Amino acid sequence: MERVLKEFFGYSSFRPFQKEVVSQILKGKDCLVIMATGSGKSICYQLPPLITKKTAVVISPLISLMQDQVMGLQQRGIRAEYMGSAQTDRTVNNRAENGEYDVLYMTPEKACAVSQSFWTALLRRGVSLLAVDEAHCVSEWGHDFRHEYQNLDGLRPFLPKVPFVALTATATHKVREDIVQSLNLQTAFTAVSSFDRPNIFYGVKGLSRTAAFKEELAREIMKDVGKSGSTIIYCTTIKDVEEVVRALQKAGADARPYHAKMSNKLRTEVHRAFSTDELQIVVATVAFGMGIDKPDIRQVIHYGCPKSLEAYYQESGRCGRDGLPSQCWLYYTRGDFTKGEFYTAGSTSVDRKKAVMEAYLAAQKYCATVECRRSTLLKYFGEITTTHNCGNCDNCVKPGGVHYRNMAEEAHLLLSAVKSCGGKYGLGIPIDVLRGSKAKRIVDNGFDKLPVHGLGRGKSPNWWKSLADQLLGLGYLNDVVHSTFRIISVADKGDEFLWSAANTGVISDFMLPINQEMA
Ligand code: ADP
Ligand code: ZN
């Protein structure tokens, strides 16, 4: 194994888990490989065919990704090719059937569409494994669900005894179970690497004034330009990409856009310029990412709350692959948080909508937390259960630590408002009540007559939302997520708090950290 690794890839030793996975595959075992981006998953399926001289079939979701990989392998003298759905080239087909490829990439559509005789022919020459890359795509709970991935277990009967290898960089326990089930993995050997990326600094900036958002971002970025190195700025929409590029260019930065509406030629050019350090900043949609193998990206910035922590982890993880200090900043406004409907719109099933919404709420909580960002991420991925101080995120390195204030009065008001509105709504109505709104939906329900009506005028809606986030996090409020909205109610702990105040006439102290939005 070491000899082949050195011969074809030039590496003198294995990274954690690579050797174990390869050995299991050689024994014919199914494998589930969950390793962080950049940790070297590809070797796990690229090495066995070179040892056994039998083709490895690799299912991958994107043509561009396959092209990159095929090119990389060919340069190393490995016989690699890809078959996409649109491809009708008979020679590739024939050569594949002849066992002339070490690594054969296919889109899931193609893999499900090729005839049984293709598999029979391939099998006659020998198949070392079937790898399913980006395996989280099979799961409705995953952040990048793809229907085509769901039929892959149908390949089993065509490839008896061939080990199936599922690989992904992101998997919560739920997704992990889904992968095993959907692909029908048999007592799979599971390799789970740590998700921690210690060299990455995580930080979040909540910006309040939406209008000045881009300018503020541009100013912040300009402070570091030059010393920050290669930077990707991710935006959620093409419109945002264009606006941010404009703001940056106006501020004198060397930034260029990258998104799906640009021509292939232009995109390739931006990619090339970025790879060769001619261009320092790319402002992009998620279209820019898969297949980017630049080891020395120093900074990934998110403009707007991402749609899930899986996506955030994957996108932010593109920096610092060389292990050197790198930063991931996330800029958001509360306005971002209303995009739930936008994200759930494309989902067909109720379960899927709920999953998308939950994933989005987890990302919102990451934005709002005053706890360690790294711990928040690692807890989400089920790697740790308690929060600790990582010393390398904005919350852990806050000068003088986090500041606390007694927010008993405000917490009492918010809990009372949620309770007196009946716990049947999101946060909008109780906060409107606190702020003394006379809107129709308030008056029609008689909420303008509630004792708490207008008692919270002194604080902005965002201030109250931020408090609600904290009360949710501490278990004083409950949220139940429906497909496109959530309902907030007072939890047992909150009831006790209200009850004790009513009984004793004193509201007990409630020290809470002051986050950016509350400052
Ligand atoms: P992943 O698919 O997990 O994101 P890749 O397979 O693309 O990661 O590998 C990431 C980088 O690590 C690549 O540049 C690859 O060449 C390098 N790499 C992989 N395995 C090793 C190894 N054993 N020794 C040194 N470098 C490696
Ligand atoms: Zn931390």
For ligand 1, atom 5, which residue shows the shortest CA distance? Answer: 40
ipTM given for this complex = 0.97
505: left (phi over 0), alpha (psi -120 to 50) or beta: left
Model pLDDT, residue 432: 96
Residues 30-75 pLDDT 10s: 999 999 877 889 999 999 999 999 999 999 988 888 888 899 999 9
Q: How far is ligand 1, taken at its centre, from the CA of residue 87, in Å? A: 29
Ligand 1 contacts CB of residue 167 (under 6 A): no
Give exposure, 40-55, as e/b (b: 16+ Cβ within 10 Å).
Answer: bbbbbbbbbbbebebb
Q: Which residues contact 412 (CB under 8 A, 6 or more apart)?
A: 497, 498, 501, 507, 510
Residues 310-319 pLDDT 10s: 889 989 999 9
For ligand 1, atom 14, which residue shows the shortest CA distance? Answer: 293
H/E element, 127: strand 127-132
**The tokens of 150 are what?**
């769901």
Q: What is the DSSP string of 362-399?
A: HHHHHHH--S-HHHHHHHHTTS-SS----SSBTTTS-T
Model pLDDT, residue 164: 97
273: left (phi over 0), alpha (psi -120 to 50) or beta: alpha
Ligand 1 contacts CB of residue 39 (under 6 A): yes
Which ligand is located closest to the Cα atom of residue 169? 1
Q: With cut-offs at 50, 70 and 90, classify the pLDDT of residue 456.
A: very high
Judge residue 428's burial from the number of C-beta atoms within 10 Å of its C-beta, 0-12 exposed, 13-18 middle, 19 or more buried: middle
Q: Of all residues in the chain, what percent are helix, strand and coil, respectively (each to 5)? A: 45, 15, 40
Q: How far is it, in rounded angstroms, from Cα 238 to Cα 67?
A: 25
**Ligand 1 binding pocket mutation candidate from 9, 42, 321 (most atoms within 8 A of CB):** 42
Ligand 1 contacts CB of residue 293 (under 6 A): yes
How far is Cα of residue 264 from the mean position of the Cα atoms in its chain?
Answer: 25
Q: How far is ligand 2, taken at its centre, from the CA of residue 370, in Å? A: 10
pTM, entire model: 0.75
Report the pLDDT averaged over residues 15-20. 92
Q: How far is it, in rounded angstroms, from Cα 371 to Cα 376?
A: 7
Residues 159-174 pLDDT 10s: 999 999 999 987 788 8
Report the pLDDT averaged over residues 293-307. 90
Ligand 1 contacts CB of residue 289 (under 6 A): no
**The tokens of 260 are what?**
């799906």
How far is Cα of residue 362 from the mean position of the Cα atoms in its chain?
Answer: 10
Report the pLDDT averaged over residues 449-463. 93
Ligand 1 contacts CB of residue 395 (under 6 A): no
Answer for the pair 387, 372: CB distance below 8 angstroms, yes or no.
Answer: yes
Q: How far is it, in rounded angstroms, from Cα 419 to Cα 39?
A: 48
Ligand 1 contacts CB of residue 197 (under 6 A): no
Ligand 1 contacts CB of residue 79 (under 6 A): no
Q: What 8-state DSSP symbol labels residue 217?
A: H
> Cβ of 375: how many Cβ atoms within 10 Å?
22
Q: How far is it, in rounded angstroms, from Cα 311 to Cα 317?
A: 10
Average pLDDT across the chain, whole number: 88
Report the pLDDT averaged over residues 466-473. 87
Model pLDDT, residue 401: 65
Model pLDDT, residue 210: 54
pLDDT above 70 coverage of the chain, percent? 95
Among the atoms of ligand 1, which is closest to the Cα of residue 39? 3
Answer for the pair 61, 108: CB distance below 8 angstroms, yes or no.
Answer: yes
Ligand 1 contacts CB of residue 46 (under 6 A): no
CA distances from 216 to 210, 226, 362, 466 (A): 10, 18, 25, 21
Ligand 1 contacts CB of residue 14 (under 6 A): yes
Does position 434 have pLDDT exceeding 90, yes or no?
yes
SS3 at position 231: strand
Model pLDDT, residue 291: 65
Report the pLDDT averaged over residues 194-208. 87
Q: How far is it, in rounded angstroms, from Cα 41 to Cα 33?
A: 8
